[in-house]
Structure 1
Amino acid sequence: MKKLSIKNQSAYFKILIIFLMCVKSISGKGQTIKVKRLDGSSLSASQIDNTVQHLMSAAKVEGLELAIINNNRVAYRKAYGFKDKEKNIPLDTSTVMYGASFSKAVFAYVNMKLVEKGLIDLDKPLVNYLKKPLREYGNYEELEKDERWKKITPRMCLSHTTGLPNVWWMNVKTGVRDTTLVNRLYFEPGSRYAYSGEGFKLLQRIEEVYLGKDLEKIAREELFVPAKMDRTSYLWQAEFEANSAIGYDEDGNDGGKVRSKKAVGAGSLLTTISDYSRFISYVMRREGLSDKAFKEMLKPQIRIRSLYEFPTMLDETTNRDDKINLSYGLGWGVIKTPYGSAFFKGGHDDCWRNYSISFPQKKTAIVIMCNSGNGERIFRELLEKLIGDTFTPWEWDRFTPYTRSDN
């Protein structure tokens, strides 16, 4: 090796010193990140990491993605664990995950855009948008026979007050699949709350025919493009394959990837932690919506007194959540806290667990996405430790902690 001249040695060491200073600066910056909690206290990046990693290990959560928003901007975003456990491939913040019912929050926002444009009226009965008999829109032959369906409005669909079941082929009392069931009403539209994916599907289908556009096109125009959600879609895209996650059930079994073949506003969303936290930040900043539309979307539309969110039609009620005034807005759950009102949304499937909650007055929010059936078992502790959220109705949501014996 040729010996460097004194002049070249000096230049070399100058470059090395600059490089090491840059590395130190970058490292130091990462270590000095401070995330604000609701009470004004702060957490460092290492404290967040330690909390997340400990809980994931204790509850056997294969993968988790996290974003925390401060001052209406993403202050912390990180992926933990694996997108493919068998191949030891880690998640990253661009990995496509299954959004499950995060789909409904996006659908509600898109609908508020349509309302602002005068294309949809929240209180105009769906029957007035029909261009053909209801039975031609889907599996609605039985529903069409019940005259009460003509009272259903977009507002009722978005606030889960239609009287329709969550999934038409699932027993509303037991949650067990029953192929003898039909799509029908279980109570007078508008009279009570009961989580209903079928209500969202009915609204979507009628809107698509009425507007002459499919949901994917509408969502892309109204939200995905303006909000720069480049890796989000209601449909599987070929480019997702290279960086998308496998889901794992509660026993750690491989449940495969979700490749949505049909755009469903109630539950086909594919997204990343980067995109979905961008969406939450976008909503928090009230971008794309007027103050009037924002307030209407997050205003309590119906008080919730059910013991649990699922099964959806249980008759048992409770006063347990009176202290937070548990309610539903348009596409989001809404609660009252000492830090002002907050809005939340979950997403749940066998191998996927997601949750977000936002506190507009504190300009603070958190988004959690898990490709693990055990994810919800650590939500309560994550929310409390990372942002100081002790208000999420975890019992109603059935976020039973991993430390509880009744899991």
Structure 2
Amino acid sequence: MDFTPLSRFIDRITAWRIPWAEVLVMHRNETVFRYRAGYADLEAKTPIDEDRIIYLYSLTKILTCTAALQLVEKGTILLGDPLSDYLPEFAEMKVRKAQTDDGWATEPAERPITVRDLFAMTAGFSYDLAAPSIKEAVERTNGRLPTREFAKALAKEPLLFEPGTRWNYSLCHDVLAALVEEVDGRRFSAYVHEEITGPLGMRDTGFFLSEAQQSRLVPQYVFNDELGKADHMDGNWYLIGTEFESGGAGLLSTVSDYALFLNTLTNRGTSPEGVRILSAASVDLMRTDHLTDRTRSDYNWAHHAGYGYGLGVRTHVSAAGSGSLSPLGEFGWSGAAGSFAIIDPESQLTVMYAQHLVNNQEPYVHPRLKNIVYSCLK
């Protein structure tokens, strides 16, 4: 394996507009390549170094869906169950039908939201964290907004469409975290630590940082096109409450730490050390395309051409459609600041890519990085 083209690509994008980037490649459970370039702090010209902590943003979603699939394995929940069996606030949902002078006309939903809809982004939710009911709940809880209170607030908002009839990237996985809390009885962060990150030895992955970890949180940037430079942008704008454990975007981690989790999925649920977090059958269900004839046209992101959508992950279904060098069944997801995961059981390949730029250039970077990685394998 010669990963020179991959290091050149990292050098190129960090000389372009991305302050720093790091990639870790694992093959057959061995780290075969790791490279980083650029500055953790542009103003101080501090080179990016190992074990820096980043906001994972939507890379959180893969772990949240893993946690919920564990409950499916235990028989605690089923994908076809109505969500209201567990979270009763979702029993009588309204659906937007037409806009009026006074707002939106709504009608009672004809279909119940199911657990599967949460996994598959077909519940009918939006991604509006400033919705009136959510803002009211933040104020009512004095800025705490525990995860269950978030779900109760979201249930007061009308759905964008009948559950199961369309695909829309939304707050589904944040509600999925609330579902895990409700049926398991532990806070979502405690469940994640005790059932996934702790057993896998992931010491730097969680929803909150210790004082020591805070010192390793790398600055976050947004590129200013008018000035032609990257500016600081502090904080995770998805964290709208001090106790809100966002299943969709709340985790922080390091490249090394999250690679342990991703590689466990590459091994179809069991780590190289023998720690099992999912069965192989559950991993295969996760990476099965769950789009239907009705929902497929909604999943239309250009850089995901040739991919379907599984249980919280993109999944490769057509090489002709994607132009990707990865095999069918390769899966993963990405995060708002540009982090990117490749999970490939067939090739026994795991890739964790990280950066910390919120206007992240994902459509340019991720497909190219993926093809370069596969071209380097022998």
**TM-score interval for Structure 1 and Structure 2 normalised by the shorter chain:** 0.7 to 0.9
- Corresponding residue for residue 169 of structure 2: 195
What's the counterpart of residue 216 of structure 1?
189
Cα deviation code 1:177-234 (max 9, x no counterpart): xxxx97221112112211112x222232243233321110111112101111110002
For normalisation by structure 2, the TM-score amounts to 0.75
Q: Are residue 271 (structure 1) and residue 253 (structure 2) matched?
A: yes
The answer to whether residue 40 in structure 2 is matched with residue 83 in structure 1 is yes
Equivalent pairs, count: 316
- CA shift for structure 1 position 159: 0.7
Q: 2:111 touches 2:162 (CA, 8 Å); kept in 1?
A: no
Partner residue of 1:240 out of 213, 216, 219: 213
Separation in 2, partners of 1:222, 1:274? 19
2:293 is equivalent to residue 280 of structure 1: no
Write the distance in 2 (CA, Å) between the matches of 1:104 and 1:146.
30
| Letter in structure 2 aligned against 1:161 | T
Aligned to 2:159: 185
CA distance in 1, matches of 2:304, 2:205: 34
- Could you say which residue in structure 2 is the equivalent of 1:51? 9
Distance 1:307 1:297 in 2: 17
- Could you say which structure has the larger radius of gyration? 1
Counterpart of 2:180?
207
- The yes-or-no answer on 1:154 pairing with 2:132 is no
Q: Identity rate of aligned residues, in percent?
A: 21
**Equivalent pair of 1:366/1:387 in contact (CA under 8 Å):** no
- Please say if 1:336 is aligned against 2:317: yes
5+ residue gaps, structure 1 = 1-33, 35-41, 171-180, 310-317, 390-407
Moved more, 238-247 or 69-78: 69-78
Contact 1:165 1:184 (8 Å CA) reproduced: no
Do the aligned partners of 1:200 and 1:265 also contact (CA within 8 Å) in 2?
yes
Asked whether 1:111 is paired with 2:71, we answer no
- Counterpart CA distance in 2 for 1:90 and 1:146 is 56
Distance 1:370 1:125 in 2: 38
The aligned counterpart of 1:66 is 23
Closer/same/farther in 2, CA of residues 337 and 226 from structure 1, 3 Å limit:
farther
Question: Corresponding residue for 1:30?
Answer: none
Q: Aligned residue for 1:31?
A: none
Counterpart secondary structure, 1:165: coil
Asked if 2 retains the 8 angstrom alpha-carbon contact of 1:97 and 1:272, the reply is yes
Is the alpha carbon distance of 1:321 and 1:93 closer, same or farther for their aligned partners in structure 2, counting shifts above 3 Å?
Answer: closer
Query: Which residue in 2 is equivalent to 1:164?
Result: 125
Distance 1:134-1:250 versus aligned 2 partners, 3 A rule:
same
Q: TM-score when scaled to structure 1? A: 0.70
Q: For 1:146 and 1:70, how far apart are their aligned partners in 2?
A: 52
8 Å Cα contact 1:83/1:244 also seen in 2: no
Deviations 1:314-354, CA, capped at 9 Å, x for gaps: xxxx9x977x2x31111101122552321120111xxx212
Equivalent residue number for residue 249 of structure 1: 222
Partner of 1:386: 373
Equivalent-residue separation in structure 2 for 1:116 and 1:363 (angstroms): 24
| SS of match in other structure, 2:338 | strand
User: In the aligned structure 2, how far is the partner of 1:354 from the partner of 1:228?
Assistant: 21
Asked if 1 retains the 8 angstrom alpha-carbon contact of 2:10 and 2:36, the reply is: no
